[in-house]
């Protein structure tokens, strides 16, 4: 899939979820590690599993 189309799809999906007052979740394709959660207030965080436990980390996408 074209990278630009994927970015647009992700952006539209996040906007729809936030309008509904729900968090949006998507795979972190920039780092290939974890899931990104965008909260209804717009804050984003990365969720990764480390030693069998979910770890919540700040999300800063540098590549896309």
Question: Is 7 a member of any domain?
Answer: yes
Map residue 39 onto helix, strand or coil.
coil
Question: Is 64 a member of any domain?
Answer: no
State the total domains in the chain.
Answer: 1
| DSSP per position, 29-62 | TTTTSSEEEE-TTS-EEEEEEETTEEEEEE---S
Question: Is 63 a member of any domain?
Answer: no
Q: pLDDT tens digits for 3-58?
A: 788 888 888 999 999 999 999 998 877 766 789 999 999 899 999 988 999 999 88
Alpha-carbon distances, residue 31 vs 15, 17, 40, 53, 60 (angstroms): 22, 23, 23, 19, 10
Q: What domain range includes position 41?
A: 3-58
Question: The pTM is what?
Answer: 0.75
Question: Is 24 a member of any domain?
Answer: yes
Question: Is 50 a member of any domain?
Answer: yes
Provide the pLDDT for residue 1. Answer: 56
Question: Is 32 a member of any domain?
Answer: yes
């Amino acid at each position: 899939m074209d990278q630009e189309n994927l970015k647009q799809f992700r952006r539209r999906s996040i906007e729809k979820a936030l309008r509904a007052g729900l968090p949006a979740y998507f795979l972190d394709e920039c780092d290939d590690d974890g899931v990104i959660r965008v909260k209804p207030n717009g804050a984003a965080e990365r969720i990764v599993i480390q030693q069998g436990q979910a770890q919540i980390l700040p999300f800063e996408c540098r590549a896309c």
